[in-house]
Amino acid sequence: MDCCNISHQIDIPEGARKVVLAGNPNVGKSIFFNSFTGVYVDVSNFPGTTLDISSGKFRDYVIIDTPGVYGVSSFNDEEIVARDAIASADLVVNVIDAVHLERDLFLTQQIIDMGIPTIVAINMMDEAKKNGLQINIDRLSEELGVPVIPTIAPKGEGLDKVKNSLHLAEIGNSSIKLTKELEEITKKSTNKAEAVLIMEGDPHVIAKNNVEVIDYREQVYLDRRERVNNIIDRVVTETTDSTSFSTKLGRLMLKPLTGIPMLLGALYLLYEFVGVFIAQTVVGITEETIFIETYEPFIRGIVENFIPESSFIGQILIGEFGILTMSVTYTLGLLLPLVVGFYLFLSVLEDSGYLPRIAALVDRLLTSIGLNGRAVIPMILGFGCVTMATITTRMLGSKRERIIAVFLLGLAIPCSAQIGVIVGLIAPLGVKYLIIYAITIFIVYVLSGTILNKILPGESTDLLIDLPPLRIPRIGNVLRKTYMKSISFIKEAGPIFIIGAIAITLLQYSGILVAIQNAVEPITVGWLGLPKETATAFIMGIVRRDFGAAGLSSLTMTADQTIVSLVTITLFVPCIAAMIIMLKERSKTEAVTIWISSWVIAFITGGILYRVLSLFA
């Protein structure tokens, strides 16, 4: 494969020197590029990829922008493009983030090792100062052996100095200890830059230079990392006051004695915000007023001009579970406010630095049920919506933990819509029944997790997380994260609700729904001691958990029967949306096993609770 020369893709005037802008993702390279080149920019496609390369002129130079990369290699298209640009550069302007030197300096050192004249622009110096980082710029320049210029690119500070310093670019101090090996390889290759890439085992560069395959990558990387860490030790000082309020608060959050009450307080705030304000007040307006009372009559009116509601197609479109009625109302009227509210709260926890502290606090507890502290995030999300929480289990460290988390989410975590209805039904019965409900669910949760932990082979992954400094959440960050996560969720889950709506309409229209109700009567009446009609609520719970719980409210039941039915419906199968996500996230066998297990556990627990309550009746 032809590599290592960007000149094929970009028009370089004779005599012009190639200046490549390189750096990690999100360091602000675009601002530098725009500052250098102004409005007149050429965009060329890099062959074999979907990536475009931007280039422009600045004085006698051609400025070439590259994708943000962590290193120069052939790991992915972005790194291949960056590699070819950097390897053929006359000089490199390497933009680094002052807050993340330990991450960014690896690329800097790699470019220096490749023997390419470099200038380093150390950007976001204002952020570094806010984070209590003091960087000795002169010492950094001395260690690297290249000019280092501090900048705050969004404010334009330092950009002119970078532009006027291009002629000062230097070949810096190498970190490569395998000097003999490098010498040998350089003799056989085009230049030093490619020799370094050959040492690191880059297959394209090896093929281009027609040399034997060698791979010192691991050793070279370790030596480079050691050098970068040494440099950082010498040039960076943290000036954060260890007695500051945020530092003390951060410590209190980690200790169980103070951390747990704080966590309970945060969960209470979450309940008040999402469970009360959003789920009741806001959803009362969006679902009821806007969608059920205004939108649905409107859309039914339009569709009925062409298709009668009583027909099969009419039922699919605008029936009780219609895709234009229930699906839209459910997605936009009910779920969207809940999702936005929940992600808003979660983004605040994340941006403030509190979330990783929660994970550290609950790690020991979660380890006993086969998870680690990271699982607290999907568990908290599950109280919002189990479907969305199931998607988040991707972040967990091993397949084993993902299975346990998905199982517990589907089994024992009621979603906010369901919680709203459950609280509404239990409240009139008194605190005693609330305690019975909470304890029963908690016991099932811990027992199931413990059993799964014992029978699934392997162990939990250790919790290793960075604890960022605590800070007041930035509104821009919070809103941006909330927006992106909410949109992503609606795109994933929206089509699933449509499928669910079609499925339940088919069951209802064909009469299978009624047949199922009759078939399960021995369980609902005989085993659980409930009225026969609760079967309908359970079947509705398969589509919508809150609908299932709400179905119970119209039945006349004793206090004991109410609790038995609520415990059973909480533990009952996940809703169709959550099931479809489970099928996507886990294998079919695992998802079906989880589904069947929740049936069994729900009814066994309900039956046992009925008999225990009967003993005390």
Partner 1 sequence: MNCNTTEGVRICSQCNNKIKDPNLIRCPRCNNILLKKCSECKGCSIFKKMG
Residues of this chain that interact with partner 1 (CB under 8 A) are 24, 70-71, 75-76, 102-103, 106, 218, 221-222, 224-225, 397-400, 403, 455-459, 461-462, 464-466, 587, 589-590, 593
Tokens of 267: 């969960």
Helices (H), 119-255: 125-130, 137-144, 159-163, 179-188, 192-199, 203-209, 217-235, 245-254
Per-residue CA distances from 332 to 152, 182, 392, 462, 599 (Å):
41, 61, 21, 39, 29
Closest distance to partner 1 from the beta carbon of 1 (Å): 19
Known binding positions for GTP: 23-30, 48-52, 65-68, 123-126
Tokens of 560: 């004991």
For residues 15 and 457, which CB has a smaller minimum distance to partner 1 in the complex?
A: 457
CA distance 200 to 72: 10
Answer yes or no: are the C-beta atoms of 500 and 577 closer than 8 Å: yes
DSSP letter at 524 equals: I
Closest distance to partner 1 from the beta carbon of 373 (Å): 13
Q: What is the 3-state secondary structure (H, E, C) of 284-302?
A: HHHHHHHHHHHHHHHHHHH
CA distance 345 to 478: 9
Closest distance to partner 1 from the beta carbon of 191 (Å): 23
CA distance 380 to 447: 19
Question: Residue 164 CB: number of other CB atoms within 10 A?
Answer: 11
Closest distance to partner 1 from the beta carbon of 587 (Å): 7
CA distance 288 to 292: 5
For residues 341 and 370, which CB has a smaller minimum distance to partner 1 in the complex?
A: 370
b/e per residue 210-238 (b: at least 16 CB within 10 A):
ebeeeebeeebeebbeebbeebeeebbee
For residues 175 and 327, which CB has a smaller minimum distance to partner 1 in the complex?
A: 175
Closest distance to partner 1 from the beta carbon of 24 (Å): 8
Nearest residue to 333 via CA among 297, 295, 291, 296: 291
CA distance 189 to 542: 65
For residues 51 and 465, which CB has a smaller minimum distance to partner 1 in the complex?
A: 465
Amino acid at residue number 96: I
Tokens of 404: 């346990």
Closest distance to partner 1 from the beta carbon of 133 (Å): 15
For residues 78 and 288, which CB has a smaller minimum distance to partner 1 in the complex?
A: 78
Q: Are strands 52-58 and 133-135 parallel, antiparallel or unpaired?
A: unpaired
Known binding positions for Mg(2+): 34-35, 37-38
DSSP letter at 428 equals: G
Amino acid at residue number 325: T
For residues 224 and 545, which CB has a smaller minimum distance to partner 1 in the complex?
A: 224
Q: Which residues pair with 597 in a beta bridge?
A: none
CA distance 88 to 3: 10
Known binding positions: 23-30, 34-35, 37-38, 48-52, 65-68, 123-126
Closest distance to partner 1 from the beta carbon of 254 (Å): 17
Closest distance to partner 1 from the beta carbon of 388 (Å): 21
Closest distance to partner 1 from the beta carbon of 156 (Å): 29
For residues 223 and 296, which CB has a smaller minimum distance to partner 1 in the complex?
A: 223
Residue 558: CB partners within 8 Å, gap ≥ 6? none
For residues 230 and 553, which CB has a smaller minimum distance to partner 1 in the complex?
A: 230
For residues 393 and 486, which CB has a smaller minimum distance to partner 1 in the complex?
A: 393
